[in-house]
Amino acid sequence: MQEIAHGIYFETAFPGVTLGAIKLPRGTILVDAPLRPEDARSWRAALFNRGSNMDKILVNLDAHPDRTIGSRSLECPVIMHERCEQIFRNRPPTFKGQNTEVGAEWETCLDLGSSRWALPDITFTDGIQFHWGELEVFLEYHPGPAPGASWIVIPEEQVVFVGDALVVDQPPFLADADIPVWLETLDILLSSRFRNYMIVSGRGGLTTPEQIRSLKNMLKKIDKKLTSLWEKSAPVDEVYKMVPGLMSEYETSVSRQELYQQRLIFGLERYYTRYIQPDVDEIVEEEIR
């Protein structure tokens, strides 16, 4: 666990996404959940040892299973954007741990059993401000990487948790993305508003402006190629030819190559299918994305 400002932490040691915690006088705001129940217990114990009290609330920065499978294990109320709630309504009520090969982190945890999703107790449209102490904490809607994607912004400490808006040293999740809107979202991160902020990626921890620009370039490359295929009325299997070139942009271990390759295959196919069939409801998932 790393403390990046007074009472503000992030953790990258558990399988899944980057976790966060904001310790305030009234209680602790948790940012996303560990995948496994035992990791949730370890995370709660670590926070307790840092002086966190019993009052907690969990923010899911989007509805991706990597950050929501373990929400129930944290045993506290859940907040997420209203579009995330719509996604949960289209899911089976129970996660059963089936391998659907979408390139998500939860697929690497072979010991995940079935569990019920933690549905949101509170939803919002544009944003929420927390009043749990003198420190101002804002939850803001920032679409692009996924339906209902959100950020937690702490202006006084110049910290922002951005979820999958920014992934580091790994391919982005494209299946439910809107790339043009995502690019606009990244421009916000590169704007003067966040110039001196510590930006915490949902997959990779603290980031740099160079890493934001790198993701922007990657998304532009993908969008340009998909647009070209669409203009040619190319069949969906043409997107598979993009994968080797995109994978060459990442230096990764052999053990991660198959996972990341599958993430790109699934994401490109799903994105292009929505591209050529714009009437498809963009918030309706596969059984588990």
Q: Nearest 5 degrees, angle CA 103-CA 108-CA 114?
A: 100
Task: With respect to residue 226, please indicate whether it lies within any of the assigned structural domains.
Answer: no
pLDDT at position 89: 87
DSSP assignment of 175-200 = TT--HHHHHHHHHHHTSGGGTTPEEE
Nearest C-alpha neighbor of 105 from the set 270, 272, 288: 288
Output the domain CATH number for residue 201: 3.60.15.10
**Residue bearing the bigger pLDDT, 280 or 86:** 86
pLDDT tens digits, 215-252 = 999 999 999 999 999 888 888 899 999 999 999 988 88
Q: Cα(164)–Cα(201) distance, rounded to whole angstroms?
A: 7
pLDDT at position 181: 96
Enumerate helices (H) and strands (E) in the chain, giving the number of each.
7, 15
Task: With respect to residue 277, please indicate whether it lies within any of the assigned structural domains.
Answer: no
Q: How far is CA 197 from CA 79, 81, 160, 164, in A?
A: 24, 23, 7, 17
Among 111-115, 173-177, 282-286, name the one with the lowest average pLDDT.
282-286
pLDDT tens digits, 7-62 = 999 999 999 999 999 999 889 999 999 999 899 999 999 888 887 777 899 999 99
pLDDT at position 182: 97
Q: Cα(139)–Cα(244) distance, rounded to whole angstroms?
A: 37
Task: With respect to residue 244, please indicate whether it lies within any of the assigned structural domains.
Answer: no
Task: With respect to residue 279, please indicate whether it lies within any of the assigned structural domains.
Answer: no
Task: With respect to residue 199, please indicate whether it lies within any of the assigned structural domains.
Answer: yes
Task: With respect to residue 70, please indicate whether it lies within any of the assigned structural domains.
Answer: yes
Mean pLDDT of the chain: 89
Q: Give yes or no for residue 110 having a pLDDT over 90.
A: no
Task: With respect to residue 225, please indicate whether it lies within any of the assigned structural domains.
Answer: no
Strands (E), the chain: 2-5, 8-11, 19-23, 28-31, 56-59, 78-81, 94-95, 115-116, 122-124, 127-130, 137-141, 150-154, 159-161, 198-201, 205-206
**Beta-sheet pairing, 19-23 with 8-11:** antiparallel
- Long-range contacts of 244-250, Cβ-Cβ distance < 8 Å, separation of 24 or more: 246/171, 246/218, 246/221, 246/222, 247/171, 249/218, 250/169, 250/170, 250/171
List the end-to-end C-alpha distance of the chain, in Å, as a whole number.
29
Task: With respect to residue 107, please indicate whether it lies within any of the assigned structural domains.
Answer: yes
Query: Which three-class secondary structure state does DSSP give residue 166?
Result: coil
Range of the domain at 117: 2-208
Cβ proximity of 175 and 273 under 8 Å: no
Cβ proximity of 95 and 77 under 8 Å: no
- The domain total for the chain is 1
